[in-house]
A and B are shown apart, each in its own frame.
Chain A
Amino acid sequence: MLAIPVVFLVTLMVFSLMHMLPGDPATVILGQEATPEAVAALRAELGLNKPLPVQYFDWLSGVLHGNLGNSLVDHTPVAQLIMERLPATIELTLGTFIVATLIAVPAGILSAVRPRSLTDYSGTLFALCGMSVPHFWLGMMLIILFAVKLGWVPASGYVPFFDDPLGNLSAMILPIIATGLRESAVLMRMMRSSLLEALQADYIRTAYAKGLKERLVILRHALKNALVPVVTTSGLVVAGLLGGLVITESIFSIPGFGKLIVDSIFNRDFVTVQGAVLVSALLIVLINLLVDILHFIIDPRIKSGKEVG
C-alpha cells in the first residue's frame, strides 16, 4: 500500500533530475558550442518547450507504457538498452548472493553457537575486515593474483552464459568473489547476532530440557526464528548490490546495468541515465515488497499481527 506513494515520489525525483541540470538542459547536454537549431531540435525532442507538469505527465505516461525515451547517443530505446544490460547484472547479483550466503550462514551459525571461542573471534574479525575492504580494490587484487600472476582466469571481459557457459563462469568468478566476500560479512554479522538472540529464548531451553540434540535444537528451532532479520538483511544486500556493482562492472568490463549508467554519464546521455536510475529505484521497491512477502511466509506471527521475538 505504502509502495504506491513511494513509486510516485520516485518518478517525481527522477524526472526532476533532468531539470536540476544548471541552465537549459538541452544546452547542457549538447554543450556550449551547439548551434541554436540543434538546441531547438533537442528541446522539441525532449518536450522541454511544454509546461513542467505537462512534461512530467507525458514522461510518466511513456514510462507506464514502457517507453523510457531514446538514447541521446544512438537513439536506441533506453528500455531496450536496459534489457540488454540486465542479464549480466542479474547473473552477477545472483552469484554474489549465493557466495555470500554460502559463507555467511555456516560462519554465522558457528560463531553464534560457540560465542567468545576462537571460531567466534575469527568470524567476527573476518566480518569486520570484509565490511571494511573496498570491493573494487579487492577485485583489483584478485585480478593481480589470479589473472596476472597465475593466469587462471581472464582479467576482464564477459561472455553470455548461453554462448559459452565455461567462459562465462571463468569471467564472472572474480567479480562474484570480490563482491560476495564483502556482502557475506554483512550477512554473517546479522546471522550471528540474530541466532545468538534466538538461542537465549525460553523455548530453546525447553528444547534442551526435552533432551533434544544440539544440532536439532539449532537447525530446527533456533535457526528458523533467527532467519527473519537475516531475510531482511538479504533484501538490503541484494538491493545494495544494484548500486555496488556499478564499480565492479567497470573494473571487470562487464557490460551490465551499472556500466550502462557510468558510460551514459560520460557520454552526457542524460535520458539513459534518467531511465536507468528510475529502473534501479523501482527494482529496489520491488525487492522490498518481495522481502515483506517472504516475512509472511517465514513467520506467520507477522501475518496475524503478533509481535515477533
Chain B
Amino acid sequence: MSRTAADSVPTPDQTQTRRESQWEDFFRRFARNKLAVAGAVIFVFLILTAVFAPWISTHDPIYDQDYSAILQSPGHNHLLGTDDLGRDTFSRLVYGARLSLEAAVVSVGIALVIGVPIGLVCGYFRGFWDEWIVMRIVDAMQAFPSLILALAMAAVLGGGFGNAIIAIGIGFIPSFVRITRSQVMSVTNQEFVQAARAVGANDWRIMFLHVLPNSLAPILVQTTLAMASAIIAEAGLSYLGLGAKPEEPSWGSMLNVAQGYLTIDPLLAFWPGLAIFLVVLGFNLLGDGIREVLDPKLDR
C-alpha cells in the first residue's frame, strides 16, 4: 500500500519518539502521585477479585443456602456472616465485584462507542448539524436527571441487570459527546492539524490519526470518573429493585435485602456499602490522579 505525504506530518519516527516520551513522562508523574497510585491499586484489586472470584469465594453466592444459619455474625464458617437465606456474605461480596466491574465497563463502553465518534465528527466539522441538531439533543438529554432517565428507561426496557446498565450507559452519552467535541474543537485549531491539511490529508485521516489521539486525555479522565458513577448508579437501581435480581450478588441488591434487617443485623448493610465506597473511591482517586498528571497546573 502506498503512503501519502500526509502520513509524514510530522514524520512517523518523530511522532513515535514523541509519543513514547509522552507516555514515559505520564507514567513517571503518575507514579509520583500517591493518591493516583492508591486508586490504581484499588482498580487492579477489583479486577483481580472479579477474575478470580470462583477461587477467592468460599461458597456459591446464589445456591449455597443454609436455612439453619441465617443472619449469622462473622465467624469461622462465614468470614463476614450470612444473609437472610443463609448465603455467605463474603462470597456474595466477591462475586459482586464482577457485576460492578461489568456495570462500569459495559455502561461506560456504550457511552464511549457512541459518544466519542459523535463528538469527534461534530467538533471537527461543526456547522448547522452540530450546533442546532446534535448539541440541542445533547442539551435535552442532559436536562433529565441521570438517575430518573435511567429509571424511566429501565421501566420501559424492563428491569434486570442488562437493561439497567444499558440505561446507565445511554445516560452517559451526552457528557462524552460534549467533552470530545470541545477537546476536538481546540485540537483542530492547532498547527499540526493545519499542516496535515496543507499536505493534502483527507478529513477522516486527520480526525482519526491526528485529532483523536491528541484529544484522549480529558476523555480518559471522564471515563474513569464515569465508571465511578456507573457503579453507584447500578447499585442504586439494583437497590430499588430495577437492576440485578435480589438473588444476584450485586452490591446494590445486597443492600436492598439488608434494608429489611437493619435492626437485627446491621452488618449485612455495612459490607456491600463499604465495598461500593472503596471501589468508587478508587476510581475517583484514579480519575483525579490522571487529571493532575495530565494538567500539572491543577497540582497545587
Contacts and interface: CB of A to CB of B under 8 A. Distances in A.
A131 B236 contact: no
Contacts of A242: 145, 148
B300 A115 contact: yes
B196 interface: no
Interface residues of A, number: 53
A140 interface: yes
A273 B280 contact: no
A81 interface: no
B136 A5 contact: yes
Given A132-B277, A133-B277, A246-B240, A10 B259 contact: no
Given A128-B284, A137-B269, A196 B300 contact: yes
Interface in A186-231: 193, 196
Contacts of A288: 143
Given A134-B277, A246-B148, A262-B151, A140 B240 contact: no
Nearest to A124: B35
A214 B258 CA distance: 51
A250 B298 CA distance: 38
B291 to A, nearest CB: 11
B144 A134 contact: no
Interface string B135-149: 011011101111111
A143 B255 CA distance: 14
B139 A6 contact: yes
A240 B236 CA distance: 14
A281 interface: yes
Interface in A1-54: 2, 5-6, 9-10, 12-13, 17, 20-22
Contacts of B273: 134, 137-138, 140-141
B9 to A, nearest CB: 33
Interface in B131-187: 132, 136-137, 139-141, 143-149, 151-152, 154-158
Contact of B140 (A6, A22, A131): A6
Given A115-B300, A144-B262, A246-B151, A285 B143 contact: yes
A148 B143 contact: no
Given A141-B269, A266-B241, A132 B140 contact: no
Interface of A: 2, 5-6, 9-10, 12-13, 17, 20-22, 115, 128-129, 131-134, 136-138, 140-141, 143-144, 148, 155, 193, 196, 239-240, 242-244, 246-247, 250-251, 258, 261-262, 265-266, 270, 273, 276-277, 280-282, 284-285, 288
Given A13-B141, A265-B242, 4 more contacts: A9-B137, A148-B262, A247-B147, A277-B152
